[in-house]
Structure 1
Amino acid sequence: MAHHTEHTGHHEGAVKRIWIVFAILSAVTIVEVALGIIRPHFLTHTYFLNMRLLNWVFIVLTLYKAYYIAWAFMHLEHESKGLRRSIVWTGIFLISYLIFILLTEGDYIYEVYKNGFMAWDF
């Protein structure tokens, strides 16, 4: 009988943990969707590093969700500090590099279309 009670307690803790993760991820997603629908004036007309502040908010919230999903569902919270850092910092580096490349190339393409097409002689 005592074993059954111990197992039930662990099950209830796991269910509680799943609901907490669900609530946090849902709240972040609701904030993202609400910002996408409302598009506050101060976020769409304020620029940081040549990109709208609203886009930066979306990037940060998406990175937070990705990190939290890895933390909760890949069980990183129970791993050693070195393993957690190697996984998280690798992801942060790769995502930051991708954002840098997308912004750099996107700005170049924008300038080409804005100033007219350029002919390249190879």
Structure 2
Amino acid sequence: MAHEHKLEIFRGLWKFKSNTQKIWGVLAFLTFVTAIEVVLGIYKPAALTDTYVLGMKLLNWIFIILTLVKAYYISWDFMHLRDEKSAMRRAIVWTPIFLVLYLVFILLVEANYIFEIYKDGFIKWNF
């Protein structure tokens, strides 16, 4: 039995008549998000580069968020995650999130240990 692809994006806000129109709509969305990233990367507004949030520049947070939006949308639409059951979607999305958080935790703990060794230990800062 053939499975029909949904000809809509953004949870049904935009509906298309054919697969070709849908591909162009997806291309337009991804191009728009990429253009925002490129413009911000070229101009680097002072308001975004001078503002720090959680120890990182606001501009970097914007880049990370826009990149995650694109990655999520590509996997949602092109990998057909929207057609899967919710358990499968959660397994695919949450597993890398937990693994990345675990990696960040390990890196921070180890970095703190190395910092303390260099600060209080017998090894000098020579770099």
TM-score, normalised relative to structure 1: 0.69
Per chain length, whose mean CA-contact separation is higher, i.e. which structure has more relative contact order (CA < 8 Å, sep 6+)? Answer: 1
Q: Does 1:82 align with 2:50?
A: no
Paired letter, 2:27: F
**Match in the other structure for 2:19:** 14
**Match in the other structure for 1:62:** 67
**Closer, same or farther in 2 for the Cα pair 1:13/1:98, shift >3 Å?**
farther
Paired letter, 1:119: I
Structure 1 vs Structure 2: percent identity of aligned residues?
A: 52
Paired letter, 2:123: A
Number of positions where the alignment pairs a residue of Structure 1 with one of Structure 2: 102
Deviation at 1:93, TM superposition (A): 2.8
Paired letter, 1:75: H
Question: 1 CA distance for matches of 2:106 and 2:78?
Answer: 29
TM-score, normalised relative to structure 2: 0.67
Question: 1 CA distance for matches of 2:42 and 2:103?
Answer: 26
Across the aligned residues of Structure 1 and Structure 2, the Cα RMSD in angstroms comes to 2.8
Structure with the higher helix share, 1 or 2: 1
5+ long unaligned stretches in structure 2: 1-6, 8-16
5+ long unaligned stretches in structure 1: 1-9
